[in-house]
Amino acid sequence: MSKKTVLIAAAIFISLTILFTISMKIAGTIFGTGNANLSNKVGVGLIEVKGMILDSKETVRQLRYFMKQDSVKAVVLRVDSPGGIVAPSQEIYAEVKKFAAKKKIIVSMGSLAASGGYYISAPATMIYANPGTITASIGVILKLSNIESLMDKIGIKSYTLKTGKYKDSGSPLRQFSAEDRAMLQSVIDNTHQQFVKAVAEGRKLPIEDVRKIADGRILSGEQAMAYKLVDRLGTLQDAIEEAGRLAGITGEPELLLPPKKKIDYMDLLAEGAEGAFNGPLGRATGGMSMVYGAE
């Protein structure tokens, strides 16, 4: 590659970076991506967890922010999630537990608060669910596929170099052995026991009672209440009003939203570039994740 070609490529990259940064800053100005100030009025904070739980950072940031605000006397955690990856769910659980030790935190379950969605709810001060909310699903799942026969049919051979017999366990490019199954099942069983223990501690239930329903089954809000996985049936507004009462607020509480996370546009650009490389690389190396319920 000639020096001229390199210089042209570098100039194009720099120009695109500058254009991207300016565009994002303009969008931030238009749509208000900066931090907003909380009202000085005493009230109840609202945090929302929607969709798959793939990362804990934003929810943890909001919980910690509200913890430091004297004007926020309690928080409602609105959960509408089918579950997600194990570690982020555990990190949010731990933060909810810390919050509940100092301030009241009321969970309001939306249409779906199952598996990881239930996991993060368990240590709250109180849990509200709608009668038809789908919840529980206390279990762990790891799905694997094998495409070895397909590779043979299209004439592609795969070769693996590894440092131990388990290093490529679960690879779609070779047969799943009995040893692989036993090793991975032991990990899943251990993670499942962590889930059961977390629910038992969070809900202050005998661990044997939790084990009886920790088989992956889903429950409606009404059913979950009968098993003491939920405290009350009610709406988001009911949960907000209850949070106000528990916090000693007279009348309807002011609902306070967390400030929006300030966007670092250069980090966003860097993450996009990293994802372009890590996506194919992750698939090529056969990375795997255990999840609480969601597939």
Q: pLDDT tens across 167-196, in order?
A: 888 888 888 899 999 999 999 999 999 999
Q: Which of 80-89, 211-220, 248-257 has the lowest mean pLDDT?
A: 248-257
Which residues, in sequence order, are CB contacts of 131 under 8 Å at separation 6+? 220, 221, 222, 233
Is 35 a residue whose pLDDT tops 50? no
* Domain extent for 134: 43-262+288-292
Domain at 219, CATH number: 3.90.226.10
Q: Which of 81, 89, 108, 115 is catalytic?
A: 115
Q: Which of 57, 143, 167, 228 is catalytic?
A: 167
> Considering the domain boundaries, does residue 94 fall inside one?
yes
How far is Cα 231 from Cα 108, in angstroms, rounded to an integer? 11
Of 69, 71, 65, 68, nearest in space to 47 by CA? 65
> Considering the domain boundaries, does residue 225 fall inside one?
yes
> Considering the domain boundaries, does residue 9 fall inside one?
no
Q: pLDDT tens across 102-159, in order?
A: 999 999 999 999 999 999 999 999 999 999 999 999 999 888 888 888 888 898 888 8
CB atoms within 10 A of CB 188: 15
- Could you confirm whether 104 is annotated as catalytic? no
Residue 91, burial from CB neighbour count under 10 angstroms (0-12, 13-18, 19+): middle
Higher confidence at residue 91 or residue 293?
Answer: 91
Which residues, in sequence order, are CB contacts of 230 under 8 Å at separation 6+? 109, 127, 128, 129, 135, 221, 224
> Considering the domain boundaries, does residue 158 fall inside one?
yes
Q: Per the structure, how many domains does the chain have?
A: 1
Residue 69: what pLDDT?
Answer: 94
> Considering the domain boundaries, does residue 28 fall inside one?
no
- Could you confirm whether 81 is annotated as catalytic? no
Q: Where are the alpha helices (DSSP H) in 106-251?
A: 116-119, 148-153, 178-203, 207-213, 221-226, 236-246
> Considering the domain boundaries, does residue 50 fall inside one?
yes
